[in-house]
């Protein structure tokens, strides 16, 4: 399976009903497939950071088998709006 930023983005948008997903392919800077993700979803509300990351990792379990590094930032829509305002 070839994992692309678009594959990851589409899956997260669908599965998390995300309002915003930004996936950056950072592979050219590394020795293997790596991605940096910003994910905004109401599914993260009331969940601590570790639960949010576990949720994302669970959804991407098959893709993560092929990825060397996956950095993620998970925000609720409210947190996203506050961050954009800064």
| pLDDT one digit per residue (tens) for the chain, 86 residues | 789 999 999 999 999 999 999 999 998 866 678 999 999 999 999 999 999 999 999 999 999 999 999 999 999 999 999 998 98
Nearest-angstrom CA–CA distance, 45 and 19: 13
Question: What six digits make up the tokens of 66?
Answer: 């092929």
- The values of phi and psi at residue 61, to 5°, are -55, -45
What is the pLDDT at residue 86?
A: 87
Nearest-angstrom CA–CA distance, 11 and 32: 21
What is the pLDDT at residue 56?
A: 98
Q: What is the pTM of this model?
A: 0.92
């Amino acid at each position: 399976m070839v994992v692309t930023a678009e594959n990851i983005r589409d899956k997260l948008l669908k599965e998390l009903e995300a309002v915003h997903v930004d996936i950056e392919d950072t592979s050219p800077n590394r020795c293997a497939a790596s991605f940096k993700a910003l994910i905004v979803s109401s599914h993260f509300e009331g969940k601590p950071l570790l639960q949010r990351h576990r949720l994302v990792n669970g959804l991407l379990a098959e893709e993560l088998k092929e990825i060397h590094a996956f950095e993620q930032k998970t925000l609720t829509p409210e947190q996203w709006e506050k961050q954009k305002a800064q």
